[in-house]
Structures are given as structure tokens and as C-alpha cells.
Amino acid sequence: MEFRQITYFLAISEVGTFQKAAMRLGLTQPALSRQIYLLEKELGVRVLERGGRTVRLTIEGERFYQYSIRMKELWEEIQNGFSKDNELKGNFSISAGGTVSAWILPQILKEILKTKKGLSLSVREGDAIETKNAVLKGEVDLGILTGPISEPSLNVVEFLSDRIFPCAAKDHPIFLKKKIKIEDLKKHTFVFFHPGSALRKAVEKKIKSFTKEFSSNIAMELRSVESVIKSLEAGLGIGFLSEYSMSPKLKKIKFENWNAERKFYLCYRKKSGPGLTMLVEEILRSAEEWKLEKRMSSLI
């Protein structure tokens, strides 16, 4: 058995087809199929069930998947342990929600990658449940979740604070009132994130602190931050957005005692190697510099 076969198996398990995995790995599909055939021959069992356009793990494949994740982690730990001067390098994957993926991580990771030439990072977007499950299953190395988080098998480190504001298009009728109250919002339609969104849950919790009888007229439930922003800009309702993703075409709706905040946390498995710990420290350092730059630019 060769370690590259483990890597190939994990790639197929993640993307679901030989074709996509071959493209990601830079191989021809026949070459990839040959390596999996040799792997299964040596194991004496089939780990992948072929059929239709996609493949799935067999029962034996599910067991082998868990072993493969552990071998991948051990190999990364060996590489990091023998790297010169504890240099941060290797391949790491991150899962985060839409706001973090689109408006926060790109700038932070861009600065890290400028100086860490041996480092490769991939980011995938997922809601809170998807991200947490991906970290626990070892499908990604690092997850960014909204707290509080109670999971014994994970290391949890505070990342950033975020404020959530009600907002609407600048010409929305809500702004005709000089003093806006929570009751005024009930008269309008809403553009919400889907129920699995951490931001949606934070907003609903805050609204319930104002009134238990609030029943929002939800016109749209969307998954992506971009879809929510575009719908709000088109005047299709009132929505709630992170301060990091606020569009210049939108206006905050200000009313007394509204103060909705949430915290983002970096989460990774406790048995992860030292390389991942180094990455977390680098992300935290870059995040502090990014926050400082944003504060300075807001003063100019």
C-alpha cells in the first residue's frame, strides 16, 4: 500500500466521482481507477461502490475512511515535526459560513499566504451544522463556528466578534418614520437566511427578547449572503446582516435597545498535529492586524 493511494481514496470520497477526483489530483481517470483497484486488491475488500455517475463508500470503505483520516493526520504531523525551524507549511482545509468565507477570510488568508510559500489552504462554505460535522468527521482541518460551543473533542479558540444589524434598501418605506420601533418592522416583509444559518438563529433569539408575539412575514429564505444582499438592495424586504457584509446600497434600521452580537470561534480536533496549531496562531495574528486596519480606515 502506498500513501498516495490513501490520498486518492480520500479525494474520491470527498468529491463523489472518479472524474472530479482525477481532475483535482492531476491524473487521468484510468490511472486513478488503477490505483484504487490495486488498493482494494491489497486490502482484499471493495472500499468504493461504483454505479451511476457517483460512487459511495461500502461498509468496509466506511471503516477504511476512518483509518485513512488518521493516517493523513499522522503524515502531516510527521511532516510538520521534521520541518526546518517549525515552518508553517502543508495543505489545510477550512469550513466557514457565508459571511466569514466571503468578507473576512479572503483578506486574512491572502496576507498569510504572501509569506508562507509552502502553505496551501482551501476554503469551503457551509452552515453551522455542516461545518461542525465536517470538523468532527475529519473532512476539514479547521472550522469557524458561532459560539457558544460545547464539544469535548474540539479545541475552541475565540476568533472575532460580529454585530448584526437590521437593514433595508435606502428608499424602503420603513425609513419614512422618524422613530422606528420593533412593531413597525412587523408591517413589512422580510428577507431571511435559511433556518440552519447561525445568523438567522442569533436574530430570532434577539427578536424574541423584544416581543414573544412577533411573527415575521418572511418573503424569502436564502442560503447565500450575496443572495440576501441583492434581494435587500432590490427592495424586497427588511433583512439582518453582519457589519462585515453591509452593502453601501443598504441602510441600517436603528431603534432603541437593538444590540445583537455574536462571536466566531476557530475549532479543530484535539488530536490534530502541531502544524494546525501554528496555522490557528497565524490566523489569529493576521485577524488582529486586519481589525486594526479596518479601524484606521474608518477614521480616515
Which superfamily does CATH assign the domain made up of 161-262 to? Periplasmic binding protein-like II (3.40.190.10)
Q: For the CA atoms of 211, 197, 202, 124, what is the dihedral angle to 10 degrees?
A: -170
Residue 2 has pLDDT above 90, yes or no: no
> What is the average per-residue pLDDT within 41-59?
87
Cα angle, residue 36 at apex, residues 30 and 37 outer, rounded to 5°: 85
Please report, for the chain, the start and end positions of each structural domain, with discontinuous segments joined by +.
Answer: 1-82, 161-262
| pLDDT tens sequence across 167-181 | 999 999 999 988 888
Please compute the mean of the pLDDT values over residues 106-129 and round it to a whole number.
90
**Lowest-pLDDT range, 22-36, 46-60, 72-86, 256-270?**
72-86
Q: How far is it, in rounded angstroms, from Cα 72 to Cα 3?
A: 9
Of the candidates 82, 144, 142, the one whose C-alpha atom is nearest the C-alpha of residue 118 is 82
pLDDT of 211 higher than 80: no
pLDDT at residue 300, rounded to an integer: 46
Q: What is the CATH number of domain 1-82?
A: 1.10.10.10
Q: Rounded to whole angstroms, how far apart are CA atoms 164 and 108?
A: 21
Cα(122)–Cα(125) distance, rounded to whole angstroms?
10
pLDDT value, residue 239: 95
**pLDDT above 60: residue 157:** yes
Locate 142 and state its grid cell: 479547521
What local confidence, expressed as pLDDT, does residue 122 receive? 92
Q: Side chain identity at 219, as an amino acid letter?
A: A
Query: Which pLDDT value is given to residue 86?
Result: 63
Q: What is the 3-state secondary structure (H, E, C) of the chain?
A: CCHHHHHHHHHHHHHCCHHHHHHHHCCCHHHHHHHHHHHHHHHCCCCEEEECCEEEECHHHHHHHHHHHHHHHHHHHHHHHCCHHHCCCEEEEEEECHHHHHHHHHHHHHHHHHHCCCEEEEEEECCHHHHHHHHHCCCCCEEEEECCCCCCCEEEEEEEEEEEEEEEECCCHHHHCCCCCHHHHCCCEEEEECCCCHHHHHHHHHHHHHCCCCCCEEEEEECCHHHHHHHHHCCCCEEEEEHHHCCCCEEECCCCCCCEEEEEEEEEECCCCHHHHHHHHHHHHHHHHHHHHHHHHHHC
Instruction: State the pLDDT at residue 15.
Output: 86
- Residue 248, phi then psi, degrees to nearest 5: -65, -15
Percent of the chain exceeding pLDDT 70 equals 93
Neighbours of 120 (CB within 10 A): 12
Mean pLDDT of the chain: 87
Domains 1-82 and 161-262 share a fold: no
Q: With contact defined as beta carbons under 8 Å apart, do 268 and 143 qualify?
A: yes
Average pLDDT for residues 14-25, to the nearest whole number? 86
